[in-house]
Amino acid sequence: MEEVKQPELESCAEVECCTSTSERKSHHSEQTKKNLVTRLNRIEGQIRGVKGLIEKDTYCDDVLTQIAAIQSALNGVSKILLEGHLKNCVVERIQEGDMDVLDEFLTTIQRVMKK
């Protein structure tokens, strides 16, 4: 599996994320959404490939290597989302005086790092 280069995230002016209203949404730029969807489509294909390997009774070590590549690719998606969330959503909510966002972010980091 080839390693995917991670593009730089857009500046705060280009990405608005996780508004602090009761209905929180992320508002990623079209470029960011396209990048994430492309990565997820690739991951989806990798998962189908692993399924095929298992169906063909492929040697376990080879299957595990492919699974490790999938986990790495998912971690790449998480890193992009976490960086955007911190640089935009968390900063915006702190500027609005919502300090509870720090506990929320720390909980998210703990959840992501368990993987």
* pLDDT at residue number 25: 78
Q: Is position 42 within any domain? A: yes
Question: In the prediction, which pLDDT does 50 show?
Answer: 98
Neighbouring-strand partners of residue 27: 16
Rounded to whole angstroms, how far apart are CA atoms 87 and 80? 11
Model pLDDT, residue 10: 45
User: Whose structure tokens read 């968390």?
Assistant: 90
47 residue type, one letter:
I
Q: Are 53 and 69 in contact (CB under 8 A)?
A: no
The pLDDT score that the predictor gives to residue 18 is 56
What's the confidence (pLDDT) of residue 7? 46
Q: What is the CATH number of the domain that holds 77?
A: 1.20.58.1000
| Other beta carbons less than 10 A from residue 28's beta carbon | 21
pLDDT mean by block of 10 residues, the chain; 115 residues: 46 46 73 95 98 98 98 95 91 94 94 83
In a domain, 14, yes or no: no
Strand partners, 16: 27
Domain span including residue 94: 30-113
**Residue 5 belongs to a domain:** no
pLDDT for the residue numbered 8: 47
> What's the CA gap between 113 and 3, in Å, rounded?
21
Is there a domain that residue 100 lies in? yes
For the chain, what is the domain count?
Answer: 1
**Domain for residue 77, yes or no?**
yes
Is 52 within the bounds of a domain? yes
75: closest CA among 37, 108, 112, 104? 112
Give the pLDDT score at 26.
77
Quote the pLDDT of residue 20: 44
